[in-house]
């Protein structure tokens, strides 16, 4: 799953990656808010979203340095 997602991100343009990053950060905010109010069924989902954010930021850095 990791390699397919990272390859997917590498095929995206910078604008698409920035949009994806914004959506992931929004999703993380919602998960944190939900967790603080009533808890999450799967708290691991916050960790997974954080990892996706890191992947997108890594690919963005790669693209911007080239």
Helix H segments across 1-66? 2-11, 14-37, 44-65
Number of domains in the chain: 1
Tell me what pLDDT residue 43 has. Answer: 87
- Residue 39, sorted as left (phi over 0), alpha (psi -120 to 50) or beta, turns out to be left
Residue 22 maps to a domain? yes
- Supply 34's token pair: 């939900």
Tell me what pLDDT residue 2 has. Answer: 62
Tell me what pLDDT residue 22 has. Answer: 98
Residue 39 maps to a domain? yes
Residue 40 maps to a domain? yes
Tell me what pLDDT residue 60 has. Answer: 94
In a structure prediction context, what are the per-residue pLDDT tens digits for the chain, which is 66 residues long?
567 888 899 999 999 999 999 999 999 999 999 999 988 888 899 999 999 999 999 999 999 887
Residue 21 maps to a domain? yes
Residues of the domain holding 59: 17-65
């Amino acid at each position: 799953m990791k390699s397919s997602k990272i390859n997917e991100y590498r095929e995206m343009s910078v604008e698409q990656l920035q949009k994806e990053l914004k959506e992931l950060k929004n999703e993380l905010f919602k998960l944190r808010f939900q967790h603080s109010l009533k808890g999450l069924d799967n708290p691991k989902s916050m960790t997974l979203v954080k990892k996706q954010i890191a992947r997108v930021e890594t690919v963005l850095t790669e693209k911007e340095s080239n």
